Structure 1
Amino acid sequence: MKIIAFGATSSRHSINKQLAAYAANLVAGAEVEMLDINDYEIPLFSEDKEKELGQPQLAKDFYAKLGSGDAIVISFAEHNGSYTAAYKNLFDWTSRLDRNIFQGKPMVLLATSPGPGGARNVLATAASAMPHFGGDLKGQLSLPSFYDNFDMETATVKAGEWDDKIKSLVANLK
C-alpha cells in the first residue's frame, strides 16, 4: 500500500506536515510519500491565466502524484478560518484538469494548530468538500494545542487519547 501525504500549507516547518507524516507512517507496511506543495508552486489561478498558460505542468504532476497512491492523508493549516492560499491555488488549478482530483482514493483528513481550536474550521470545510472532488473520506480529526499534544523530539503524538484516535482513524485506510 502506498500513501500520499502532505500538509496543505507552504510553511517549510509546518506542524501540519509533521502531523500528516506521523499519521501516514502509522499504517503498518505502507510506503509513504510525503509531498511538499512548495514543489507545485504555480501562478495565482484565474480564467485569464488559464487561457494564457493552459494547464500548468506542475498541476498535472500534482494530479499524477495523487493518483499514484492507494490512499491520501492531508493535514490542513488554517488561515483566517479557511484553506491556506498555497493549497487553495494548487487545488483550483488541479481541479481544472479533473474535478475528481482525489480520484476515488480513501482519505484521512487532519488539522492542527498551536491553539485549542485545532484548525477545526478548515477541517470542516475540507471534509464537506472532499466527496465532491473524488475523495472517499474515511475520517477526520482536529488535534488541538499541537505543542501540548505532539512530542517534537520524537515526532510523535503523545501517548493517550489523541494518539489512540489517530491510530484508529488511519486504520480505516486499509
Structure 2
Amino acid sequence: MNPVNLIGICGSLRAEATNRRLLREAVRLFGDCRYHEADIRFPLYDADDEAETGVPDKVQDLAERIATADAVLISTPEYNKGPSGVLKNALDWISRVEGNPWKDKPVAVMSAAAGRAGGERAQMILRSFMVPFRPRILQGPEIHLAGSSKQFDETGSLTGEIYVRQLTALMEGLRAEIARG
C-alpha cells in the first residue's frame, strides 16, 4: 500500500516559523507518509492580472497537489486577531482554478502564536474562510499553541506534553478521516 500523501500549508513565510515547526511535528506524529510543504509566495490576487495572464503556474501546481493529496494540514499564525494575509491570498488564488481541489478533502487546521490564546481567533476565522470550499475539516482536538516560541526544543520537537497528546490525537483523527474515504 502506498504511503499517505499529505500537503502542508504554513500561513507564515518565515523559514523558522513556529507554525512551520508545528506542521513538521504533526507530520512526524502522523507517521509514515509522503509530505510536501507548499510555497505560498504568490503574487497578490488581482482580477485584472488574472484576466490578463491567467492563474500563476505556482497556484495551479498547489491546487493540483491539493486535489491529489489524501489530506491537507494548515497551520496559521495570528496577526491582528486573524489569519495572515499571505494565507488568505493563497486561498483566494486557489479558489480561481478550475474545479474545487478542496471538495471533500480531509483538512486538519492548527495554529501557533505568541499570545496566550495560541491563535484561536485566527483558526476560527480560517475555518470560516474554508466553508465555501466544502472540505472535511476535522473538528478537534483543536490545536492552539500558545507562547509558541517557547514550545519547541533545539531539535524542533514540541516540549509540552499536552500539546503532543492533542496533536497526536488530531493526527489519529486525520488518519481515520482519510480511511473513511
TM-score where L is the length of structure 1: 0.88
Relative distance call for 1:132 and 1:99 in structure 2 (3 A) is: farther
Partner letter of residue 78 of structure 2? E
Residue identity in the other structure for 1:142: H
1:17 aligns with 2:20: yes
| Letter of the 1:3 counterpart | L
Q: Deviations over 1:72-131 (max 9, x none)?
A: 111001221222222222211110115734232211101011221211111001123324
Please state how far the C-alpha of 1:49 moved relative to its aligned partner.
Answer: 1.9
| Counterpart Cα distance in 2 of 1:157 and 1:51 | 44
**TM, length-normalised to structure 2:** 0.85
- Calculate percent identity across the aligned residue pairs: 25
Identify which of 24, 29, 34 aligns with 1:31.
Answer: 34
Q: How many residues align?
A: 170
* Structure 1 SS opposite 2:95: helix
Structure-1 residue corresponding to 2:146: 144
1:14 Cα deviation after fit: 1.2
Task: Give unmatched runs, 5+ long, in structure 2.
Answer: 176-181
**Contact 1:16/1:111 (<8 A) preserved:** yes
For 1:157, the equivalent position in structure 2 comes to 158
For the 8 Å contact 1:6–1:21, the answer to whether it is kept is no
For residues 37-86 of structure 1, the C-alpha deviation after alignment (integer angstroms, 9 at most, x for no partner) is 23xx22x2122222222222221111012123111111001221222222
Aligned counterparts of 1:92 and 1:46: Cα–Cα separation in 2 = 10
Distance change in 2, residues 1:62/1:146 (3 Å)? same
Where in structure 1 do 4 or more consecutive aligned residues deviate above 6 Å?
none
Higher share of residues assigned strand: 1
CA distance in 1, matches of 2:57, 2:163: 39
The CA distance in 1 between the partners of 2:99 and 2:164, in whole Å, is 33
Secondary structure of the 2:29 match is coil
Q: What is the letter of the counterpart of residue 163 of structure 1?
A: V
For the structure 1 residues 103 and 73, does the alpha-carbon distance in structure 2 shift closer, same or farther, using more than 3 Å as the test? same
Is this contact kept in 1: 2:64–2:101, CA < 8 A? no
Task: Find the aligned partners of 1:78 and 1:98 in 2 and give their Cα distance.
Answer: 30
Q: Which runs of 5+ in 1 are unaligned?
A: none
Task: Tell me the distance in 1 between the aligned counterparts of 2:8 and 2:148.
Answer: 18
Between the aligned partners of 1:29 and 1:124, the Cα distance in structure 2 is: 29
The answer (yes or no) to whether the contact 1:99–1:133 under 8 Å persists in 2 is no
1:147 Cα deviation from its structure 2 partner: 2.7
Match of 1:93 in 2: 93
Q: 2: CA distance between counterparts of 1:19 and 1:145?
A: 13
Q: Is the 8 A contact 1:111 1:119 kept in 2?
A: yes
Q: Which residue of 2 aligns with 1:107?
A: 107
